[in-house]
Amino acid sequence: MSEDWRGIWVVAEHRHGALLAVTGELLGAARRLGEASRQEVAAVLCGHGVEKLAGELFAWGADRVYLVDDPRLAANVDDYHAEAVAKLIQEERPSVVLVGGTFFGRSLAPRVAARLGTGLTADATEVELDPESGLLRLTKPSYGGDVLAVITCPERRPQMATLRPHTLPAPQRQEGRQGVLERRTFAPVREARMAILEAVSEGACAANLADARVIVAGGRGLGDPKNFKLLEELAAVLGGAVAASRAVTDLGWYPAACLVGQTGLTVAPRLYIACGISGAIQHVVGIRRAGTIVAINKDPHAPIFEIAHYGIVGDVLEVVPALTAELRRRLGR
C-alpha cells in the first residue's frame, strides 16, 4: 500500500498570527527526509486569515502549502482541525505527517490518526529514514529517558508522529524562497462537539520558556511558594524566565505551564540554574539541551550534580539572593 503514498507533510501551528518555532524545526526535518527520499515537502496551514504565513513556510523549506482558511478554524478546536487535516491526507495521501509535540499538537495528532486508522508515535525526539526499508524511524525516550525506543509504522499510512519542540535543529530561513499555494475549502460533515468559550492565559510562562536564553528553575527545596520571588528576581537580573519541577507544580506552588521535564516542556536555554531540584531523571530529560547547567542544592549527593556543569552546595535561600545581589552589582541592573 505504501507505494502510492508520497510526500512529507508538516502540520503548521501558529498563535496570535505567528508560526510557532516548532513548525520550523519540523520543516527542517521534513526537508532532510524529503531530500533523502526525493519526496515533496508540504505544510498544512489551517486557520482564519493566516494566508500571510504561507511565505514563512516556504522560507523554512515547504515546497507546497495547503491552506484551509475558515472562520471555524480560527480557534484551536481539535474536532474541526482534525477533520480538515484528515480530509486533506485522505485526498493527497502523503507518506509522512509530522506534528509539533505541543499541547495542541498532542491533542490533534491522535484524533487525525484515529480518523485515518493509522499509527502515531507520540513525543519523538529524533526522526530519520531507514536506508533499507525507506520506513520512518522515530526515536522516543521511554521510562523517563532510560530507554530509547525506535518505532516504525510498517503497515499503515501515513506514518505519523508528534515531535518534541526544541529537540530538532531549526532550519536556515531562505528569504524569498517560493512554493505552490493550494487553497482548500473546509466542509465539516458535522458540528464540532467542543467549543472554546474563553481563553485564559496561564501567564507567558510556556512561551517565554520556549525561547528563553536563561532559565532559573525552582524545586521543592525552595520550601515555600513565596520563595519563587527570589528566583523571579534572579531571572529578572539575567533577562531570563522561571520554570519549576513537578514536585512544586503538583503542590500548586507554581503554574503547571512552567513545568520542565518528561511531562512538561523540553527547554534549550544557554544557562539553566536549578535551585533546590534533586535532579530526578524525569526532570533531567527536559534540560539535556541546555548549554550550561548550574545546580544549587544543600545535599552534595543530589543527582542534579551529576549533570550540572557547576554546582553550589548550600541553602538556596541564602545562595540565590547573594547571587542576585552580586550579578546586579556586576551587571549594573
Cell output for 77: 478546536
Relative orientation angle of helices 316-331 and 228-238, to the nearest 10 degrees: 20
Shortest reach from residue 293's CB to ligand FAD, in Å:
14
Shortest reach from residue 285's CB to ligand FAD, in Å:
8
Shortest reach from residue 318's CB to ligand FAD, in Å:
8
245 sits near ligand FAD (criterion: CB under 6 A): yes
Nearest CA among 302, 298, 291 for reference residue 319: 298
Q: How big is the site for ligand FAD, counted in residues (CB under 6 A)? A: 27
Binding mask 286-325 for ligand FAD (x = CB under 6 A): ----------xxxx--x------------xxx--------
Main-chain dihedrals φ then ψ at residue 43, nearest 5 degrees: -120, 145
DSSP per residue, 120-181: EEEEESEEEE-TTT--EEEEEEEGGGTEEEEE---SSSSEEEEE-TTSSPPPPP-TT---EE
Contact window for ligand FAD (CB under 6 A) among 42-50, 98-106, 175-183, 239-247: 239-247
264 sits near ligand FAD (criterion: CB under 6 A): yes
**Do 256 and 249 meet the contact criterion of CB atoms below 8 Å apart?**
yes
Cell output for 64: 507546497
Long-range contacts of 318-324 (CB under 8 A, 24+ apart): 319/275, 320/230, 320/231, 320/234, 320/275, 320/296, 321/230, 321/233, 323/234, 324/230, 324/233, 324/234, 324/237
Nearest CA among 299, 303, 269 for reference residue 283: 303
Reduced to 3 states (helix: H, G, I; strand: E, B; else coil), residue 18 is strand
248 sits near ligand FAD (criterion: CB under 6 A): yes
Nearer to ligand FAD, 241 or 316 (CB): 316
Nearer to ligand FAD, 62 or 260 (CB): 260
Shortest reach from residue 280's CB to ligand FAD, in Å:
4
Burial class (CB in 10 A: 0-12, 13-18, 19+), 252: exposed
Nearer to ligand FAD, 76 or 262 (CB): 262
Q: Which residues pair with 48 in a beta bridge?
A: none
Contact window for ligand FAD (CB under 6 A) among 33-41, 94-102, 201-209, 273-281: 273-281
Binding mask 196-225 for ligand FAD (x = CB under 6 A): -----------------------xxx-x--
Which 164-193 residues touch ligand FAD, going by CB under 6 A? none
Nearer to ligand FAD, 223 or 291 (CB): 223
Cell output for 126: 529524533
247 sits near ligand FAD (criterion: CB under 6 A): yes
Shortest reach from residue 296's CB to ligand FAD, in Å:
6
141 sits near ligand FAD (criterion: CB under 6 A): no
Quick one: which of 23, 76, 95, 262 contacts ligand FAD (CB under 6 A)? 262
Quick one: which of 24, 101, 141, 261 contacts ligand FAD (CB under 6 A)? 261
Residues forming contacts to ligand FAD in the complex (CB under 6 A) are 219-221, 223, 245-248, 259, 261-264, 276-278, 280, 282-283, 296-299, 302, 315-317
